[in-house]
Amino acid sequence: MENKKLYTVTIFSENHVGLLNQISNIFTRRGLNIETLSVSPSAIEGIHKFTVTSFSDLDTIEKVVKQIDKRVDIIKSFYNTDEELVYQEIALYKVATDQFLALGSIEELIRKYNIRILEMTTNCVVLEKTGHYDETQGLFEELSEKLTILQFIRSGRIAINKSKIERLSDMLAKLNKEHQQ
Amino acid sequence: MSDPIKGSYILMESLLREGVDTIFGYPGGSIIPVFDALYDYMDKFNYLLMRHEQGAVHAAEGYARVSGKPGVCIVTSGPGATNTITGIGDAMMDSTPIIVITGQVGTSSLGTDAFQEIDMVGITQPITKWACQIRSADEVADAVAKAFYISTTGRPGPVVLDFTKNAQNELANFHYERCTYYRSYIPAPHVCPEQIKEAAKLINEAQKPLAIVGQGVVLGNAENELLQFLEKADIPAASTLLGLSAMPTDFRLNKGFVGMHGNIAPNMKTNECDVLIAIGMRFDDRVTGNPNTYAQQAKIIHVDIDPAEIDKNVKTTAKVLGDAKETLAALTQAINPARHEAWIQSFEPYEQKEQETVIEKELHHEGERITMSEIVRKVSDATQREAVLVTDVGQNQMASARYFQYKQTRSIVTSGGLGTMGFGIPAAIGAKVGAPERTVCLFVGDGGFQMTIEELGTIMQSNIGVKMILLNNNYLGMVRQWQELFFHKRYSSTAMANPDFNLIANAYHIANRHVTKRDEIDEAVADMLKDDQAYLLVVDVEENGLIYPMIPAGETVTNILTPKA
């Protein structure tokens, strides 16, 4: 059995009700857990982009992507490994203002983690960190040691392919042209 | 522009635009407006009131399989809709084009657990090619057009249209345009010249080629292209269960049927050939047995319309994507004429072995009881190999697949992928409606017969002339067979106390006969076939009968069990 690694599956779809169900069903069938999920409108109006990460072996993820691609409402789907991508997650941390000020090493912490402070009230401070999982997790762990984190939230991964230029619009234009002929 | 009409009438008009002539259905609360509209269209559609929604879907499948046209069924919401699930799953597995129109509660009640509300789109997304909810009358025409386009093009499959009650009742202008394009959907990949070239090279180099023919050939109407391809390079070929009848039984290069209960020669040759050409088939586990020992010595060429099938179950050396009609024609052009006499002759010892150890014993049985095989062959002979075979699932299915013979394509209707017991009677109804000029013979066991026995009512009411041959062994025979062979003869839950099936047929005014002895068969079969009316022939068959040869599940295809001497 091949070792499992984290794959990032990128899916372009029509923007319809029920697309997420269609996609997640295909992971479910093969017993794959979805680690992260991010969905948003793509650069092309009316087309949505899903970014899904999942631990899998290569053979399985290839088949999963083919079966996603086969769905009528899916425009294109592909998979990548981390080396092929520039990817990012965003995390927000809420801590109590008095605890935060009592740290005494705020500048050092901000420089070390490249933190942004989004909001500060007498009650709480909201910090933002973007980066890879290890980085957002690193800050979480360091903060946890020093104070109480009141709330923590991390987004799904978003990713951009290093090797190829995303030319979905070209593909759509080609399909349309073939249809016209 | 003409006056607006109700969504339910838009549905009727849209179905007519798609050339629909037959509808199988069952009414209920959330679909009454559609049935009200249908009342005005009774002269336009041949409508069959079934006895259960499952029957409606299987009938639509049977209709589609013999006619090549999509089968249509209309049922209500909630339980009516969920009763179609088995048939929808069946159609998905066997790539059968059907349109299932289900009622749905009004849009304003969606999500409220309203009476007979069920999330039909959510439930059926994993088992349909496409599922869509129609929420307003002005969506009806487009949804129907898209449904037919998606269901029938490319690799066909089931489509669900979930029709909300308000959309049935509201008014909208009717304008119909058939769908020919949907940007996120590519029905069939273009034939790629490089793929053809690579595959042709492998075929030209082959000394011992073997082709395996699946239903893709039938769905692509590529039977002639197939025969030309095989003839040109002299390639012996065998069918999968659903590929049967794509080649006539007596075609010179037809080497029978592969898989668990298939013929010995093509199964053995699968692991002897040097190039295996799989055409419109998907390497189902009932064909491959253990995929890790399947045709390991061969270069495998996979010809299929569905890119997701390539390398799914068996790794291929070369792929040829596209519609079988186009790919086979292109391949035929690209390959060299060849002769493989010695290779083809090498099938004979295996054929001889099967003839002696299995077929002779089945067709000329020494025991007193009738075998399934002999009655199947008698019916096949009596219909001059021109009948449509419909089967249920189990021993009856395998006996009929093995011993029925064919002259023309689209002559077998059977539940392959899902293996749905109870498929038989309703599918036979659909098949007879789809091919009224042909004799339709159903072989069904006592178990499957009772799973959809209620459809005898449909046969009576709509006067469907199906010939039903009930192979009664008072057992769930295939499970009993596995119990005998692999579970130390512990016959758990397989013996059946059965009713008098002839009395049941009498109650439905269906002509019938009960045969228990071999010398009664010929006359009974002749009596059954004397007219075009429905008939139930109950045949008491050998209770201990086993279907041989058999490759046990998950075993190597050459590990074939035959009867003990």
Q: Residue A129 is encoded by which pair of tokens?
A: 């960190």
Q: Using the beta-carbon criterion (under 8 Å), do B307 and A69 form an inter-chain contact?
A: yes
| Chain A neighbors of B121, CB-CB under 8 A | 17-18
Same-domain check for residues A60 and A97:
no
In this prediction the ipTM stands at 0.91
Question: Do A92 and A70 reside in the same domain of the chain?
Answer: no
Distance of CA B290 to the CA centre of its chain: 24
Mind telling me how many Å the CA of B150 is from chain A's nearest CA? 8
B299's CB contacts (< 8 A; 6+ apart) are B202, B206, B274, B275, B276, B317, B318
**3-class DSSP state for residue B563?**
coil
The model's confidence at residue B263, banded by pLDDT at 50, 70 and 90, is very high
Q: Same domain for A10 and A64? A: yes
CATH number at residue A58: 3.30.70.260
CATH code for position A102: 3.30.70.1150
Are residues A11 and A53 both part of a single domain?
Answer: yes
Indicate if A28 and A55 belong to the same structural domain. yes
**Using one digit for the tens of pLDDT, what is the confidence trace for B4-40?**
999 999 999 999 999 999 999 999 999 999 999 999 9
The pair of three-digit structure tokens given for residue B308, joined into one six-digit string? 């997701």
Q: Are B104 and B162 in contact (CB under 8 A)?
A: yes
Task: Please report which helix (H) or strand (E) contains residue A75, including its range.
Answer: strand A74-81
- Considering the domain architecture, whether residues A71 and A98 belong to the same structural domain is answered as no
A88 CA: distance to closest CA in chain B (Å): 28
Whether the predicted pLDDT of A1 surpasses 60: no
Query: How far is Cα B443 from Cα B448, in angstroms, rounded to an integer?
Result: 10
B244 touches B403 (CB < 8 A): no
Query: What residues are paired with A116 via a beta bridge?
Result: A128
Same-domain status, A76 and A96: no
| Residue A70: domain span | 5-80
Query: In B, residues 123-142, which contact A (CB 8 Å cutoff)?
Result: 125-126, 129-131, 133
Question: How far is Cα B171 from Cα B150, in angstroms, rounded to an integer?
Answer: 26
One domain for residues A55 and A97? no
Among candidate residues A55, A119, A111, A64, the one with its CA nearest the CA of residue A93: A119
Q: Residue B394 has which token pair?
A: 């189990």
Amino acid at B152: T
Mean pLDDT of all residues in B420-435: 98
Cβ under 8 Å to A: B residues 293-352: 306-308, 310-312
A144 assigned to some structural domain: yes
Instruction: Evaluate whether residue A171 is within a structural domain.
Output: no
A25 inside domain = yes
Classify residue A15: in a domain, yes or no: yes
> For residues A8 and A82, what is the distance between their CA atoms, to the nearest angstrom?
7
Which of B183, B305, B310 to mutate: most A Cβ within 10 Å? B183
Q: Catalytic pick from B6, B129, B146, B165?
A: B165
With an 8 Å Cβ cutoff, the interface of chain A facing chain B consists of: 13-14, 17-18, 21-22, 25, 29, 62-63, 66-67, 69-70, 72-75, 172, 175-176, 179
Closest CA to B546 of B469, B468, B470, B483: B483
Instruction: Give the end of a domain, one of A20, A50, A80.
Output: A80
Asked whether residue A24 is domain-assigned, the answer is yes
**b/e sequence B235-272, b meaning 16+ C-beta within 10 Å:** bbbbbbbbbbbbbbbeeebbbbbbbbbbbbbbbbbbbb
3-state secondary structure at position B213:
strand
| CB contact (8 A) between residue A175 and residue B186 | yes
Q: Quick check: A69 and A134 in contact, CB under 8 A?
A: no
CB of B396 less than 8 A from some CB of A: no
User: Residue B404 catalytic?
Assistant: no
| Inter-residue contact B238 to B304 (CB < 8 Å) | no
Question: What is the mean predicted confidence (pLDDT) over B278-288?
Answer: 97
B351 is catalytic: no
Minimal Cα distance from A169: which residue of B? B183
Whether A118 and A139 share a structural domain? yes
Pairing of strands A5-14, A158-161: unpaired
How far A75 CA lies from chain B's nearest CA (Å)? Answer: 4
pLDDT tens-digit readout, B342-369: 999 999 999 999 999 999 999 999 999 9
**Cβ <8 Å between A70 and B307:** yes
Torsion angle in degrees (nearest 10) through CA of A91, A94, A100, A103: -40
Q: How confident is the model at residue B290 (pLDDT cuts 50, 70, 90)?
A: very high
Model confidence pLDDT, tens digit, residues B477-530: 999 999 999 999 999 999 999 999 999 999 999 999 999 999 999 999 999 999
Instruction: Return d(Cα B101, Cα B242) in angstroms, integer.
Output: 26
Residues B359-377: b if buried by 16+ CB within 10 A, e if exposed: bebbeebeeebbbbbbbbb
Question: What gap in Å lies between CA B137 and CA B9, rounded to an integer?
Answer: 10
Q: Specify the DSSP class assigned to residue B355.
A: I
The alpha carbon of residue B136 is apart from the nearest alpha carbon of chain A, in Å, by 15
Is the bond leading into B549 cis (omega within 30 degrees of zero)? yes
Q: Do B183 and A172 touch (CB under 8 A)?
A: yes
- Cα gap B524→A19, rounded to integer Å: 55
Q: Looking at chain B, which residue has its C-alpha nearest residue A14?
A: B184
Active site includes B53? yes
What is residue B43's three-state secondary structure?
coil
The answer to the question of residue A62 being in a domain is yes
Measured CA to CA, the distance from residue B548 to residue B207 in angstroms comes to 30
Amino acid at B300: I
The answer to whether residues A12 and A76 belong to one domain is yes
Same domain assignment for residues A102 and A39: no
The last residue of one of the domains, among A59, A80, A101, is A80
Model pLDDT, residue A177: 82
Q: Which of the following is catalytic: B44, B45, B69, B116?
A: B116
In a domain, A180, yes or no: no
Helix (H) or strand (E) holding B168: helix B165-169
How many whole angstroms separate alpha carbon B561 and alpha carbon B260?
Answer: 10
The stretches of B341-445 forming alpha helices (DSSP H) are: 341-345, 348-354, 360-363, 372-382, 395-403, 424-434
Number of domains forming the structure of chain A: 2
For range A56-60, the mean pLDDT: 96
In B314-397, beta strands by DSSP E: 318-321, 388-391
In this model, does residue B1 exceed pLDDT 80? no
Band of pLDDT at residue A167, cut at 50, 70 and 90: confident
Are residues B392 and B419 in contact, defined by beta-carbon separation less than 8 angstroms?
Answer: no
CA distance A11 to chain B (A): 12
Residue B232 known to be catalytic: no
Supply the Cα-derived Rg of chain B in whole angstroms. 24
In chain B, what percentage of residues exceed pLDDT 70?
100
On whether residue A159 sits in a domain, the answer given is: no
Rounded distance between C-alpha atoms, residue B6 and residue B34, angstroms = 9
Which residues in chain B touch residue A17, judged by CB atoms under 8 angstroms apart? 121, 133
What is the token pair recorded at B209?
Answer: 């080629």
A7 pLDDT higher than 60:
yes
Whether A72 and B186 lie within 8 Å, measured CB to CB: no
* pLDDT tens track for B359-398: 999 999 999 999 999 999 999 999 999 999 999 999 999 9
Element (H, E) at A158: strand A158-161
Indicate the pLDDT class of residue A179, thresholds 50, 70 and 90. confident
User: Is-contact A53 A20, C-beta < 8 A?
Assistant: no
Query: For residue B160, which of B308, B39, B57 has the smallest C-alpha distance?
Result: B57
Specify the pLDDT at position A171.
Answer: 80
Cα torsion A44, A47, A51, A54 to 10°: value is -150
Indicate whether B2 pLDDT > 90.
no
Out of B50, B260, B372, B478, pick the active-site residue: B478
Q: Which residue of B has its CA nearest to A168?
A: B184
Residues of chain B above pLDDT 90, percent: 99
Q: Are residues A72 and A112 in the same domain?
A: no
Q: In 10 A of CB B531, how many CB atoms?
A: 10
Among A80, A95, A114, the domain boundary falls at A80
